[in-house]
Amino acid sequence: MQAPPSRAGVVGTTRQATTEAALAARVGYDVALVSVGGLDAWTVPQLVEHVRAVGEILPVMGFYLQPAVGGRDLPYAFWRALLELDALVAIKVAPFDRYRTLDVVRAVRDSGRGGEVALYTGNDDHILLDLLTPFRLGDGPPLHFVGGLLGQWAVWTARAVALQAECRATVAAGTAPARDLLTTAAQLTDANAAIFDAAHGYAGCLPGIHEVLRRQGLLAGTWCLNPEEGLSPGQRAEIERVCRAYPHLTDDAWVAERRERWRG
């Protein structure tokens, strides 16, 4: 089985991003995931030229990151122009916004590159429905998300693998999703709201992930590199609530069976 391409994230101005891409290429990465966070004053043409420069070093994956965690709004025109770059091979779509998600999908359709540019969902609030939906936005075959790059699935990963496989099988069969899978989609969104701390603008996102891993005995605490970053008021109780409500989303038993072996 062929290994999937390895992706390195690159950030910053063009000088920094190209330097990081060159380092990634030297150490063997296949694709550069280009974030334009922090470049809020740049115009669409400037952003496209920025990605073009990175694409001269490595194939690139576009990245639509939601503004709440450092991204910026990116119009249809940006994605349509980006799809003119031969170096673009994929897009991670994570604006946490259905309208903006459709901007990207429509740009891919309009470019005629739907068969060669892979779409990955990063919408942790809409995971299963992104993976299940055939996006038919006009003439031609529908577009599909082929997978996800998701913070939510930094936890409960055994169940993530099973759910992703179920979604792929449903899409491949061309059948309507089973009702229980649609129910699970809503439950996963509820769980993500607690773990990512949507109630407080995602302030407790990383500590929330750490809290789930702490509960499983994989981390000793919820500390982050920033000592001021911690769980928001009431967030631990919300995580406890969703763990009780949706035990079928967790992989606690699977982790418990393997934890001591992983610790060596």
DSSP state of 248: G
Q: How many residues does the chain have?
A: 264
Q: Which of 76, 85, 91, 80 is nearest to 145 (CA)?
A: 91
> Cβ–Cβ contacts within 10 Å for residue 209, how many?
20
Euclidean distance between CA atoms 105 and 121, whole angstroms: 11
| Domains, in order of start, for the chain | 1-150 (3.20.20.70), 174-264 (no CATH)
**Partner residues linked to 60 by β-bridges:** 32, 88
Read off the pLDDT of each residue in 15-26 and give the average, rounded to a whole number.
98
Report pLDDT digits (tens) over 86-112. Answer: 999 999 999 999 999 999 999 999 999
Confidence of residue 178 (pLDDT cuts 50, 70, 90): confident
pLDDT at 110: 96
Report pLDDT digits (tens) over 209-243. Answer: 999 999 999 999 999 999 999 999 999 999 999 99
Confidence of residue 176 (pLDDT cuts 50, 70, 90): confident
